[in-house]
Amino acid sequence: MYILHIVCGLPASGKSTFSRALAIDRGAAFFDSDTATDLVIQAAHRAAGIDPHDRDSCVYKLTYREAVYETLFSLAEENLEHTDVIIAGPFTSELEDKDLWLEKLEERFSGSEVRLHHIEISESLRLERMKGRGAKRDKAKLG
């Protein structure tokens, strides 16, 4: 049985860094929400006349959020047939009821073990990291 690791937390909390290290350690497939979907979202936003780096507006959340996460879960399903999988994304709404979310994930991925890794750091360190990485998608978060 292969393991699905879901690494979640706020932007710049260290999800990607932790996930890459875990993927190397486990010899697992790794899918990050930004890497897996960002170019498609940017193209769609440009076509719609929206800031291509917007990840915080209601338009983004209503239009793309569910599709981004379903893309990650679909990639996981395809790969869990032959290897462990690590997916990384904020999953902030899902964390509001972590037990219920884990129950739904275990039902969906019934042939695999599901492990949640919630990455948390201080807000000051998170903002410092966000400023330091200089990602355009963070601009609205930094004000």
What CATH number is associated with residue 71? 3.40.50.300
Q: Give me the pLDDT at residue 98, please.
A: 95
**Residue type at position 102:** L
Structural domains in the chain (count): 1
Question: Using one digit for the tens of pLDDT, what is the confidence trace for 84-138?
Answer: 999 999 999 999 999 999 999 999 999 999 999 999 999 999 999 988 988 888 8
**Residue type at position 36:** A
Q: Give me the pLDDT at residue 104, please.
A: 97
Alpha carbons 53 and 43: distance in angstroms, whole number: 10
Q: Give me the pLDDT at residue 76, please.
A: 98
Range of the domain at 102: 3-142
pLDDT band at 22 (very low <50, low <70, confident <90, very high): very high
